[in-house]
Amino acid sequence: MVESSTKQIQVSRPSIGVDELEEVRKVFETGWLGLGSTVFEFETRIRDFLGAKHVIAVNSGTTALHIALDAHGIGEGDEVIVPSLTFCASIQVVTALKAIPVFCEIEPDTLNIDIEDARKRITHKTKAIMPVHYCGNSCDMDELLKIGKENNIFIIEDAAHAFGSSYKGRKIGSFGDATCFSFDPIKNITCGEGGAVVLSNDTIAESMRRKRILGIDKDAWHRYEGERSWFYEVTTQGYRYHMSNINAAIGLAQLRKFDILSEKRKHITNGYNERLNGIKGIKLIRWDLKETVPFMYIIHVQDGKRDELMNFLNGKGIVTGVHYIANHIQPYFSKYSNPLPVTESVWEDILTLPLYPDMTDKDLAFVVDSIKTFFER
């Protein structure tokens, strides 16, 4: 068995260093730390990378989802179909708009939305479906967009896990109604904190740009370019959701090395797939590493041994997680709850193993050997 390194193996961690510090230093030297030219450059780089039309950078993936729903007219009494197995932020943005989350099932082998179950839950009140590209694996976007078109509802993609992933050769975010990314500390790229909405509709994109800066018609950077720098108009309901130049600077450095970061994630995932396959007591989810940049590595632990395995690994310095607790059983969302037997079964057996770009082959081997030891006892 491979010996453990002296460090603790985290479930996830950012890959940051001198490149990010250098970009932040450049922003400090300008004296303009808020929304400005660095953010606009970051948006342009994201747009070019994805092959998208509009990119609106914001301060988190949660605010990206909220502003996307808001700008698409989702409001009080409207229904949004969303998988229960996702981070609670995906639900909070719906209830924040006084809309109604309608929980649906997931597919156990991908953890993505069960499209047929979602289809059955469409009513005359349904205004959007919010699929989650789980672990970076794309949902079946052809079918989802077809359902959206047939029922005149929006498909607002939660792509917090999926920056860089593709669907049938097209980058997630390069097509569809709206795609929301997260750039928090552990995502496929990080801005420290940040997010973005990507879309093609000119009118809705302009609405989002105003909404992210308190509904003001011009942000401070553009106001100070003109003679009447003090003058602005509030034209819509808005929020303080804009990204700062500091966060965008970190993102620019991350984008330059994204190919390296993504290949490392794929390498670790492929290593897990090869070494864990066939171990009695666990089941792997499906991966397409030609299309997917993996964000998390999740396994099903069978026979009710998930928590026991988690404690065993923790005792060896291996940190694991559960992503996520089903939202329909959370106290705050109980009034929206409906029976979801697949989700209820899945969330109780999934376990997230360590995955991050700076994870070494030795770390990977130690994790795998520790799992084998657990099941061979």
Place of tokens 């552990």: 186
Residues 6+ apart with CB under 8 A from 138: 112, 162, 165, 166, 167, 172, 291, 292
Q: How many whole angstroms separate alpha carbon 136 and alpha carbon 12? A: 15
Place of tokens 């209830």: 95
Place of tokens 């105003």: 210
Q: Residue 250: name the closest of 187, 199, 174, 171 by CA.
A: 187
Point out the catalytic residue in the list 127, 171, 187, 211.
187
196 within 8 A of 58, measured Cβ to Cβ: yes
Please calculate the CA angle 346-99-107 and round it to the nearest 5 degrees: 20
Q: CA–CA distance from 107 to each of 68, 110, 136, 160, 371 (Å)? A: 25, 6, 15, 18, 25
Residues 6+ apart with CB under 8 A from 102: 79, 80, 81, 82, 121, 126, 336
DSSP 8-state symbol, 171 = E
98 is catalytic: no
What burial class does residue 359 get, using C-beta atoms within 10 Å of its C-beta: 0-12 exposed, 13-18 middle, 19+ buried? buried
| Active-site annotation, residues | 187
